Copies of this chain bind each other. A is one copy, B any other.
Amino acid sequence: MIVKETNIRVPYGHTDQMGFVYYGNYPLYYEIGRTESLRSMATSYKALEDDNILMPVIDMNIKYVKPARYDDLLTIRTIVKELPSTRMKFFYEIYNQSVELLNLGETTLIFLSQERNRPVRCPDWMLDIFKKEMVKA
């Protein structure tokens, strides 16, 4: 299991008139979690795109446990439980500065060849990175 953490400060623009983070902003937080977890493994989503592979999200589930608020310093825990094949799952837990669990999510992404416009397997160089991280963990 690979677990990576990153932080985001809630800007005013993410709140709504309930005074909470608008429910539609969490997918962005998950994207930031995914991106930074890849970066912490010395690779990046950008490197994949440079390899002409896109990773669109094909499904997402979210549980809104407690509201996040303006200026909260959120911790996004991004979790990979299984090695990717043609698909890859990420799980997310979002906590506030008081370590209260606010949000739980999961997304499934596919590897899409931009040239052939169809799904492909996770490229070997990326699979190797995940294998090494799994061993470390």
Contacts and interface: CB of A to CB of B under 8 A. Distances in A.
Interface of A: 9, 11-13, 15-20, 22-28, 31-32, 35-36, 44-46, 54, 56-64, 67, 70-71
A47 to B, nearest CB: 10
21 contacts: A9-B32, A9-B35, A11-B31, A11-B32, A12-B45, A13-B24, A16-B16, A17-B17, A17-B19, A20-B56, A23-B56, A23-B60, A24-B24, A24-B27, A35-B71, A46-B71, A56-B67, A58-B63, A59-B62, A59-B63, A60-B60
A59 B17 CA distance: 19
Nearest to A105: B60
